[in-house]
Each structure stands twice: as C-alpha cells, then as structure tokens.
Amino acid sequence: MKHKWAMVIDMDRCTGCGACVVACAAENNTPTAGEAEAAKGRLMHWLRISRYWKREGNETRAIFVPTPCMHCEKAPCEIVCPVYATYHDEDDNLNAMVYNRCIGTRYCANNCPYSVRVFNWWNYTWEKPLDEQLNPDLSVRSRGVMEKCTYCIQRIRRARETAISERREIRDGEVVPACAQTCPPGAIVFGDTADPDSAVSRVLKDPRVFKLMEHLGTDPSTAYLKKQRGPGR
Amino acid sequence: MSDDSRNHLARAGETALYDELSRSNRVTTRSWYVATGIAFLVFAFGLGAFIYMMATGMGVTGLNRPVFWGVMIILFVFWIGVSHSGTLISAILRITQASWRAPVLRGAEAMTVFALMVGGLFPIMHLGRNWRFYYIVPYPSERQLWPNFRSPLVWDMVAIATYLTGSILFLYFGMIPDLAVARDRSTGWRKKLYTTLAAGFRGSHAEWRRYHVTSTLFAVLIIPVAVSVHSIVSWDFAMAMVPGWHSTIFAPYFVAGAIYSGIAGVITVMAALRWAFKLENHLTERHFDNLGKLLLTMTLIWGYFYFSEFLTTWYSRLPEDWALISSYGGHYLPLFLLMLVCNFLIPLPLLSLGKVRRSIPAIFAVSLVVNVGMWAERALIVVPSLARRNDPSIWHNYFPTWVEISFITGALAMFALLYLLFAKLLPVMAISDIKDHLFRTTDRSVGGTVVPSVAEEESGKEGTP
C-alpha cells in the first residue's frame, strides 16, 4: 500500500523550547557543529526553529516556526540533482536522499526555498564514548554530502517491516518521528494522509492550517496550524 | 608604426615575416623564464590549496548555509565568460571577412581554449566529493543509473565539454598551415613536433580549398555552440527558484556579459602579446581601435540588459526580490559600486574617445577594469541571491577564505602559464592569414590619408598565399 506521510505543526502550541531539535540530532546522528562553526552559519540541524519577533501594539511576541524538510510533492531539490542523489520515493511519497550517490554539488540546497538542507562541511567525529550514542538504524554521513530531515525514515521502515511480518497495515500512530515523540506541548502530529481517518488527516481539516510559501507551488507535506491575529481576521 | 610600412615584410621575404611573427617560438628570453616561473609558483600554490581542501573538507572555504556556492562558482562563470569571445570573435570575423582580422584570430582562439580549461575545473573542484565527479558523466556504470538529464548541471557538463572540444579543434585546425610553415623552418625536436601536428599539410590548391571550406564551416558551427554554452551557464542559476536568479532575461544577459568580458580579455591578451613579442607591425592601433569599438558596443548592451533586469525587479518590489535589492545598498554595496563603476561608468566615456581606443596602454587599462567589473558582477549574481534566501531567519553573509582567494590567483596564474607555454611552443600569430592579407593589400592615398586597399574581394575559397 502506498502512503502519503505528512506532518502538522501547531504553532499555537509550540513554545520554542527546542526539544525537537535535540531529539532530531540524537535520532539522526547529526553532528554537533560547535559554537565557532554555528557562527559561520554551519549548523547541522535537520530541524531548526526559526524565530521571528512580531510587534502587536505595546507587546512584542515571539513567533516560532519549527522548520523540518517539507517533503514537497513538487520538490525543487529533486529536479536539479544531476545524479539522482535526492529523488521522490514513490511508495511513501517522501523526498528521499541517497548519500552514496551524492557528489556534493549543493544545487539542491540552493533550490530549496525553505533552506532546510545541510551540508557536511567536515568529517565530523564522535569522540569516545560519544560514539556509543549513535543510532545504529542509520548511517553517519561522510564529508561532502548533503543531508536533510527524512521524516525519520528508519522508523517508517521499521514500522512497515513489523506490519509486514504481522500481516497487517501500519496502524495510525505507529510511526512517530523523534521530534513529534519529544515535543512537550504535543505540537507535532505525524501520520499517513492516505488514511482519511488518521490523526493527521483530521488535524489537516483545522481552519488554522497553512503551508510555508504555498505560493511557490512546491506542495509541501509539512503543514502548520496558526490562529491568525490582527485586523481583518 | 605608420601604415606605409605595414606590408614591408610580405614583400621583403617570407623568412623575415616568419621570423618576426614567430619570435616567441624562436628566442627564449630570461623574462620568459621569470614570468613562467612566477606563474607556475602562484598556480602551484592554488593547486596546493585545492589539495588541502580536498583532503580536509569544504569547511576550509567561507561557504555556509545558505551561501552554498561561492568563489569557485564565481570563477567558473567568470572564466567561461572570458572564454566566450575568443572563438566567437574569431568566427564572426572569419564569416564577415573583416579585413583586419588576421592578427587577432589565433590569440583570441587560444584565449578561449585556455580560459575554458581554467573555468571548466571549478565546477569539479567545488563538488563536496570532487573525487566522484564522474558520477555526472553518462556512461554505463555499476550503479546502473544515468545522470538526471533534467538537471542544468548535466546540461552544463555537456555544453562545456562540447565547447572545449570544438574550440580546441577550431584552434588546431586554423593552426595547421602555420604549423606547416613552422615545420619547414625549424630543426630538432621542434621539427618533429610540427611535422606531427601539421598532419602533412603541403599547401596544395586542393588542401587550401578544403581548409577554407572547413574553416568556414567550423566558424559557422561554433557560433551557436558558443551562444548555447553561456545560456546554459546562466540556466544553472535561472532554473533555480532563487530570488534574483529566477529570471527569463538571464540567458541573453549572460551571453552579452560573457562577450563583454571576453572582448576585454582579447584586448588584454593582444596588448600583452604585442608588448612581449614585439608584434607592433602587425597588432596595430587600428586593431585596438576596432576591438575598442566592439567593447564599447558591449558596454552599452550590457548596461541595457542590467538596467532592464534591475528595473523590473526594483519596480515590482516583491518581498523576496526586495530583500535582495536592499542588500545591494547594504552589505553588498561595495561590490555593487565596484561593478557599476568598472563595468559602465569608467568604460563608457573612455571608450567613446578615439584617443583612448587608439592608445594601447589606455585601452589595456580599460580592458583590465572591465574584467574586474565583470568579476564583481558574477560575484553579485552568485552570492547576494543566496545570502538573502526566502526565509530571513537563516540569512548569512559570505566572505572567501585564503583557500578561495588562492584559487582566484591560481586561476589567473594557470591561464598565464598555459598562454606562456603556448606562445613558446606553437605559432601564436596566424602567419598564413597575415601573409594572405598582406599580399592582397596595397596602400593607396585617398585625399590626405593612406588607406589599405585590397586588389580583389576575398572569395573565402581560393586562398593562395
């Protein structure tokens, strides 16, 4: 059965705590860039929390936009890759990444309007005993390749294998990416929109729903919920 | 050198003409060794920096997220641009049979080949895993996967490979009669080299006829290739949905910019050749005057393209574009001013003056200024658009590190080195074309001035030098 995985992030719930970023790094073996490299704009986070300040009368509000890969249906990154290192996974409707094919043109990153792709500038190492915390379910990337949020594809694959061995479909809620699992206010909902009764399909009917840079026509799988404020709303 | 004595050598004897035109091949001066040594050292430093980058990681550059492309891509576009004019000018001059073309041809064609060799390296160098660059080449591999033909980078690879092959053939083919002359007049290993390269050319009528047919054919075929190459380079940018890149005008704009910087490059190289190898009799003020007029035309065309591209973006004030244009007045103001001054404000008035066009030091200086401006223009296209991406939370500026700066100098040195070796080994002037032209031309007095006049119109088929 084909799936269409999607994520919905409730910005009205998000507190900007950053737990999802930490969980993502722990799950996906993303290296810690360090302070100096981060200052150069080389954070390795697959999921970042963009923070904006908005002035409303006398009050200044912070707006947090947790930004993982949008897994666009019409992904701009895919067509520009000369070696099919990033391509569309037709079964899961994911925007997949094959590290071994990647030669590091970084064109995909330039063409991603959300700028969610990160590049391995160095051969990052995990000093002992930190290497013990690496997740064995996925690889550690070498320098020179692009990487990005995969919607925790290793968890999707594991759930699928379990389901196949038990001769059933994947149940709603069986796949939970690390960010959604960790989010303290429960702002991230993940699931299969091919299943009309799944939690994520229900949340997507919320009137607060919007997608990032919808006007670009990328048709993202990641959606946001936010109550619109201000005049005219 | 006055016009009266221009054809003295064609009449005085072939040996003297050959000796004068191939001075670079015959005498190896101390200054050649010094120049080659310096060029080699600077090039070796750039090469060392590349090996260091390859061994350590792209982190040694100043690149970051979102500025994933930097100096290496700027250098790529710049050098491909410089490469543009040589073959194009040569082909156009051949087709239009411009009477002044002969001394310019060879130097311009060689410039194309060497600039392409330099420029073509950078897209490979800039790869994160540059040792895997061949993944982009369509060949039946163990991965059982073709490259993605929808990617402009694959078009790019094909276009540049085609252009490089075409330009090398064009250069070599035009050189065959001169190699034959050199073969007949040299000894030792040079004779062996020229004998091989001249491919048995003896100068019979049939050979000349085939030569002229083929060179016209080459000239006609290389023009669409040249135009397509820089269009495709522009599509590396224009196909991406990056504010400031995604523009329909990019292809003709890049071609115009490439011809602009290429003509400036031709003038730089011609002035250097004239000075270094004492070719004052052949590369005259008239050539620089004519090239200067071409450069002036391109200044205006470039200015027009830039203005019309800028105006539409500025006027509509779309938020993404506006963020980019604001950065031209902010962080990237120095780069923007450098481009505007060097590409338009300096060359336009100066090149309008006949005095400047006919003064070789002056037009040499202008040609250098134009290429500085064109470098800034390439930088302004590549960097600010990436530095001001759609999501302001990740905006980040970019400045190259010493590694990338040594690529800039290394590229220049590599170009100089290739040219110095070329000048030493192969005929740097189109001897037979020049001879052909000199034989046809007589000087006639018209009123108070002396003008070169040809006895008959060139037919393009029956060259009989």
Q: Is the dihedral of CA B169, B174, B177, B179 positive or negative?
A: negative
Q: Give chain A positions within 8 Å (CB) of B153.
A: 80, 82, 105, 107
B141 at the A interface (CB within 8 A)? no
Lowest mean pLDDT, pick from A34-38, B26-30, B125-129, B349-353 = B26-30
Q: What token pair was written down for A140?
A: 């550690």
| Closest Cβ opposite residue A103 in set B62, B127, B391 | B127
Residue A232, pLDDT score = 59
Q: State the nearest Cα–Cα gap between A27 and chain B, in angstroms.
A: 22
Question: In angstroms, rounded to a whole number, what is the distance separating the alpha carbons of residues A69 and A110?
Answer: 14
For the stretch A157-193, pLDDT in tens is 999 999 999 999 999 999 999 999 999 999 999 999 9
**Residues of chain A above pLDDT 90, percent:** 88
Residue B2, pLDDT score = 42
Q: State the nearest Cα–Cα gap between B140 and chain A, in angstroms.
A: 13
Subunit contact A110:B58, Cβ cutoff 8 A: no
With cut-offs at 50, 70 and 90, classify the pLDDT of residue B228.
Answer: very high
**Residues of chain A contacting B, Cβ within 8 Å:** 37, 40-43, 48, 50-52, 65, 67, 76, 79-84, 101-107, 109-111, 113-115, 117-123, 142-146, 213, 216
Nearest chain B residue to A42 by CA distance is B64
Q: Give chain A positions within 8 Å (CB) of B66.
A: 41, 109-110, 115
Q: State the nearest Cα–Cα gap between B47 and chain A, in angstroms.
A: 19
With cut-offs at 50, 70 and 90, classify the pLDDT of residue B461.
Answer: very low
Cβ contacts of residue A100 below 8 Å, gap of 6+? none
For the stretch B132-176, pLDDT in tens is 999 999 888 887 888 999 999 999 999 999 999 999 998 999 899
- Predicted TM-score (pTM) of the model is 0.92
Strand partners, A66: A49
For residue A71, give Cα distances in angstroms to A77, A86, A107, A137, B280.
10, 11, 17, 21, 64
Nearest chain B residue to A87 by CA distance is B148
Calculate the average pLDDT of chain A. 93
Residue A186 sits at the vertex; the CA angle it makes with A180 and A187, to the nearest 5 degrees, is 80
Residue B430, pLDDT score = 82
For the stretch B369-399, pLDDT in tens is 999 999 999 999 999 999 999 999 999 999 9
ipTM of this predicted structure: 0.93
What B243-251 contacts at long range (C-beta under 8 Å, 24+ apart), as own/partner pairs, is B243/B318, B243/B320, B243/B321, B243/B323, B243/B324, B243/B385, B243/B388, B243/B389, B243/B390, B244/B313, B244/B321, B244/B324, B244/B381, B244/B384, B244/B385, B244/B388, B245/B381, B245/B385, B247/B309, B247/B313, B249/B305, B249/B308, B249/B309
For the stretch B293-334, pLDDT in tens is 999 999 999 999 999 999 998 899 998 899 999 999 999 999
